[in-house]
Structure 1
Amino acid sequence: MKSKIQENQDGTMRALSNRHVQMIAIGGTIGTGLFLGSGSTISKTGPSVMLIYLVLGVFFFFMMRGIGEMFYSDPSQHTFVSFISRYLGPTVGHFTGWTYWIGLVFVCMAELSATATYVKFWFPQFPAWITELIFLAILGSINLIAARLFGEAEFWFAMIKIVAILALIFTGIFMMVSHSVTPLGHASLGNIFSNFQLFPHGPINFIAAFPMVFFAFMGIEFVSITIGEAKSPQTVIKKAVNETLIRILIFYIGALTIIMGIIPWSSITPNSSPFVQVLKLAGLPAAAAVINFVVLTSAASSLNSCLFSAGRHFYQLATEVPEDSWMRKHFAKISRNGVPAAAIIFSASLVLITPLISLTNGLASVFTIVTGISSDMYIIVYTLAMLAHRKYRQSQDFLPNGFLMPAYKIMSPLTIAFFVIIFGSLFFVPEDIIGAVGAIIWTVVFGGVTYLHQRKLVPNTDQ
């Protein structure tokens, strides 16, 4: 017998089951970067890439524990930005909310553009803008119908990624156990340690790989945004967050181990998917088509999650403005389906710019720069989330018997410091410098505007 769906006070529905949330967590952990971008990272760092994934995985785990602890104390919230507003003040919350939402819109646009790119693998002459409109219409409709339908779609999207990674892992294990011989040599774990160097291409390339892996994990926090609409939220958040590190070890470290066991790391082609390279060596001629299908569904999954998240964040922003404002009247509303329909539609309408970009080369260049800036802003947002968690620990809301972040006194400041270091490492990557500088300019300018706006709303404030 199906359990009755609980309605929240704001009209949203707790329709997402445990299996939905867990698969959304897995989907958020496994990005398209693993399937396509890991070859470039391996070529820069060799086997040391596994150390980079592990280090970043540990710090992302602690970040998720911090966010999870706050959601455990108040699972009625739809976004972790609410906690930033609550514990760091409305000025910082306003800045973070708008920054994160704008970033989400650009991520949606990038993923929508990616779907058109992957479809061209099979239909090279098909107009990209039509593909983009089709995907946006389908996934936008899924988000508007019900949260449960969104969860169901994400369940199957994540399942495809899991099957692809497990297929690679089991294929690789079979090849190594059977001592398979490929044109590149024997399949063996010895390939990983042969001529091992910590910095095969110098320490600068090693440092430059950290931002690349960081962006592969970006979006891992999406699962927290589902908690406000999940059944038994305190139970599912603990399971989803606690298994973050295990997923990283299995799906990232496991896949990378297999890849470098089959292909000597120095022989991996950086601009080609290592998944395709391994499966071709295993005798699967359709490897490229299979992986293209996987990354297409991965991009669709990311777009689906982005629309879900962007809608909830814009709804949250609308609830925080004065009651008589136009924005609150039109967007701080929940539809009869239990979703913030107006906020989702508005966010999706901005994503409609993507088909226009597909038709204009000049806009595409600007879009690349702006997307880089918004991605770099995520580092700042994550840092603010950790600072909010520290304030939460000092507040009356703190639950001593709650879902406590382990080794808080050590790992909380270390995680914050690590994110600052990651931002600094952007300046070691030439293509990331413009984005990093843009992120600093955005923080100073928009942060200043937000501060002045809040002072105007609340005279004599110390915000």
Structure 2
Amino acid sequence: MTSEAQFSSIAQREGDLARRLTQPQLTMIAIGSAIGTGLFLGSGAAIQIAGPSVVISYAIGAFVALLLMGCLGEMVVAHPTTGSFGAYAEHYLGPWMGFLVRYAYWISVVLVIGAEVTAVSVYMEYWFPQSPAWVWIVLFSGLIILVNASSVNIFGSAEYWFAIVKVVAIVAFIAIGTITVIDAPAQSQIGFGNYFRNEGFFPKGFGGTWFGVVIAIFSFIGIEFIAVAAGEAKEPKRAARQAFKSAFFRLMFFYIVTIALMVCIVPWQKAGTGESPFVLVMRLIGIPYGASVMNFVVLTAALSAMNAQLYVATRMIFSLSRGGQAPAFLGTLTRGGVPLRALMFSTFGVAFAGLCSVTFPHGSFLLVMSIAMFGALFAWFMIFVTHYRFRRAAERDGVVLSFRMWGFPLMTIVGGALMFAVLATTLLLPQFRMTLVTGIPMLFVLSLCYPFVKRRTFAADVARELA
């Protein structure tokens, strides 16, 4: 039996979800989930760490994301299923790795939801500076939970329009920023001179540029959501193929151009995480109400990313449940085809964010982001490892792939090596030291739990066979 035929048993156990997402919605889910707090707020931290060379940092991050999209695109077109890269790891690397990838990623995403909602409270402080953060966390979390509790086509429509707002805003920002840079007086503080004044292009050295790559990678995290959403697309193989191609190149343009313009307009020393650099740019340019409009846009972006993250976290724990690696009640569906119990179980990141916002009111965003990063970075690394085994299995079985990653095996190995280097680098950054400090013990604890889960799954399989 071929590897592709053997995979069908994994896909069948997740096949109850309704296939209602369209290709445009799938594309916008990929774009919307990747254009969120990482770009609108996290880019400020990247600029502060790397200086003007942050443009190189994001170019390296974009290259890694390109390789990841190629690897993941191949596997998704061959095996569209909700468990996506977790299911691929289970099949090509073994049940233990599938267990680790799914749980580590699920934990990461629910914590990133906390980072997004923490960012929402930062944005709301622009209009309501004296308001407590927990009020906005509770209010907007309830709204996003309500959207996800509806049918998947309502979620898809909401995410589509969320993403449209962000795309229109970024295009407008690029247009306004370009005009501002071109029309700036020669002696002003705006222009390409910002790349070389104030300690030069590499004010923190090449080390600072590489440290900026860590945040750049975090900014791109979310593009893999398309692999999960493809499991609920109307025509999954065709929709995934088109969505991967169109989403990636739009994201590359948006990220690189907007970061380049930010450095032209805002001296790098002024960047940080206390205020979105997009809002800072609008304020410095002096466009009437521009800062308020942009603050609304970045608020929408955070809500959009949070919406997509809750969707993905729900589907990941649903996949674990259907595989016998999470409580069975998390694998049930409502009449509308929504895994509501898995949804509610995936909201603890909101509670964690609320606790952090009270305990660390001025550093909660970076704290939550650093802890949340490990599972996503680990998943990205494992996608490259899984893809290597996937291609070897396809070559062995003589499978003709309709969507192929160029440069295999070299590019797959390069992508995996770069992701391993990024993971190791987090230990050198004070802001992200908690990534490995909490992530490695988490993998150890999950590995200790796996034998008990495996025995439970085996017993359930035997009971079904005897029934």
TM-score (norm 2): 0.85
Partner amino acid, structure 1, of 2:419: F
2:206 to 183, 200, 203: 203
- Equivalence for 2:332: 333
Give 1:261 deviation, angstroms: 3.2
Deviations 1:304-343 (A, max 9, x none): 1121111111111111118xx9x22x12222211221221
CA deviation digits over 1:23-73, x for unaligned, max 9? Answer: 111112322232223233234333321121111111111112211111111
Separation in structure 2 between the aligned mates of residue 256 and residue 378 of structure 1, nearest angstrom: 23
Alignment correspondent of 2:442: 442
Residue 451 of structure 1: how far off its partner (Å): 5.0
Match of 2:390 in 1: 392
User: How far did residue 262 of structure 1 move?
Assistant: 3.4
Give the whole-Å Cα distance in 2 for the aligned partners of 1:139 and 1:405.
Answer: 35
**Which residue of structure 2 aligns with residue 122 of structure 1?**
127
Structure 2 partner of 1:382: 380
- CA apart distance, 1:455: 7.1
SS in 2 for 1:339: coil
Q: Which residue of 2 aligns with 1:305?
A: 308
> Could you tell me which amino acid in structure 1 is paired with residue 19 of structure 2?
R
Q: Secondary structure at the match of 2:223?
A: coil
Distance 1:362 1:100 in 2: 25
Report the CA distance shift for 1:197/1:118 in structure 2 as closer, same or farther (over 3 A).
Answer: closer
Does the aligned pair in 2 maintain the 1:84–1:92 contact within 8 Å?
A: yes
2:228 aligns to what?
A: 225
Change (3 A) 1:282 1:9: closer
Shift of residue 240 of structure 1? 2.1
Which SS does the other structure have where 1:422 is aligned?
helix
AA matched with 2:232: E
Distance 1:360 1:456 in 2: 39
Asked if residue 12 in structure 1 is aligned to residue 11 in structure 2, the reply is: no
Q: Indicate the SS of the match to 1:310.
A: helix
Are residue 46 (structure 1) and residue 47 (structure 2) matched?
no
| 1:95–1:447 CA contact under 8 A, matched in 2 | yes
Distance in 2 of aligned mates of 1:364 and 1:79: 36
Task: Give the gaps of 5 or more residues in structure 2.
Answer: 1-11, 460-467
2:219 alignment partner, one of 216, 233, 238? 216
Residues 1:365 and 1:196: Cα distance change in structure 2 (over 3 Å): closer
Which amino acid letter does the alignment assign opposite residue 200 of structure 1?
P
User: 1:377 is aligned with what amino acid?
Assistant: G
Partner of 1:181: 185
Specify which of 75, 79, 89 is matched with residue 94 of structure 2: 89
Contact 1:160 1:294 in 2 (8 A): yes
Alignment of 1:11-410 (within 5 A): 11-177=16-182, 179-181=183-185, 184-185=188-189, 187-189=190-192, 191-192=194-195, 197=200, 199-263=202-266, 265-266=267-268, 268-270=270-272, 272-321=275-324, 327-328=327-328, 330-348=329-347, 350-351=348-349, 353-354=351-352, 357=355, 360-361=358-359, 372-395=370-393, 399-410=399-410
Task: Look up the equivalent residue of 2:389 and give its one-letter code.
Answer: K
Residues 419-456 of structure 1 deviation map (CA, whole Å, 9 limit, x = unaligned): 01111211221222232122122223322442575478
CA–CA separation in structure 2 for the residues paired with 1:64 and 1:216? 15
Q: Give the Cα separation in 2 of the matches to 1:8 and 1:98.
A: 18
User: How much does 1:93 deviate?
Assistant: 0.9
- Contact 1:369 1:435 (8 Å CA) reproduced: no
1:212-257 deviation digits (Å, cap 9, x = unpaired): 2121122221121110111222222122222344223311111122
Alignment-mate amino acid for residue 340 of structure 1: P
For residues 116-167 of structure 1, the C-alpha deviation after alignment (integer angstroms, 9 at most, x for no partner) is 3322332344454343332222211211211111111111211222122111
Structure 1 residues 81 and 398, CA, compared in 2 at 3 Å: closer, same or farther?
farther
- Amino acid in the other structure paired with 2:188: L
The answer to whether the 8 A contact 2:73-2:240 is kept is yes
CA distance in 1, matches of 2:17, 2:357: 38
Counterpart of 1:13 in 2: which secondary structure? coil
**Secondary structure of the equivalent of 2:409?**
helix
* Distance of aligned partners of 1:50 and 1:134 in 2 relative to their CA distance in 1, 3 Å threshold: same
| Stretch deviating more after TM superposition (102-111 or 277-286) | 277-286
Aligned counterparts of 2:261 and 2:360: Cα–Cα separation in 1: 41
| Distance across 1 between alignment mates of 2:206 and 2:386 | 33
- Contact residue 132 and residue 354 of structure 1 kept, 8 A: no
Work out the CA distance in 1 between the residues paired with 2:393 and 2:75: 11
Q: Name the SS for the 1:181 alignment partner.
A: coil
Structure 1 residues 191 and 132, CA, compared in 2 at 3 Å: closer, same or farther? Answer: closer
Q: 1:413, CA displacement in angstroms?
A: 0.5
Q: Which has the higher helix share?
A: 2
State the distance in 2 between where 1:363 and 1:188 align. 35
Residues 12 and 385 from structure 1, CA distance in 2 versus in 1: closer, same or farther, beyond 3 angstroms? same
Which residue does 2:412 correspond to in 1?
412
CA distance in 2, matches of 1:426, 1:222: 23
- The verdict on how the C-alpha distance between 1:365 and 1:446 changes in structure 2, with shifts beyond 3 A counting, is farther
Offset of residue 210 of structure 1: 1.7
CA contact (8 A) 1:130 1:355 kept: no
Give the superposition deviation at 1:280. Answer: 2.7
One-letter amino acid of the counterpart of residue 441, structure 1: P
Q: Please give the alpha-carbon distance, in whole angstroms, between the structure 1 residues aligned to 2:331 and 2:338.
A: 11
Are the structure 2 counterparts of residues 359 and 69 from structure 1 closer, same or farther at C-alpha, using a change threshold of 3 Å? closer
Deviation of 1:345 after TM superposition, in Å, equals: 2.2
Q: What is the aligned partner in structure 2 of residue 4 from structure 1?
A: none
- Larger mean Cα displacement after TM superposition, 117-126 or 7-16: 7-16
Residue 374 of structure 1 aligns with an amino acid whose one-letter code is A
Paired AA for residue 301 in structure 1: S
CA RMSD of aligned residues (A): 3.1
Matches of 2:255 and 2:360 in 1, distance apart? 36
- The 3 A distance-change label for structure 1 pair 13 and 390 is same
Post-superposition shift, 1:364?
10
Q: Which moved more, 1:292-301 or 1:270-279?
A: 270-279
Classify 1:282/1:229 alpha carbon distance in 2 versus 1 (closer, same or farther; 3 Å): same
Do 1:207 and 1:428's aligned partners in 2 also have CA atoms closer than 8 Å?
no
Alpha-carbon contact 1:81-1:93 (below 8 Å) kept: yes
Q: How many residues align?
A: 445
1:369–1:9 Cα change, 3 Å: closer
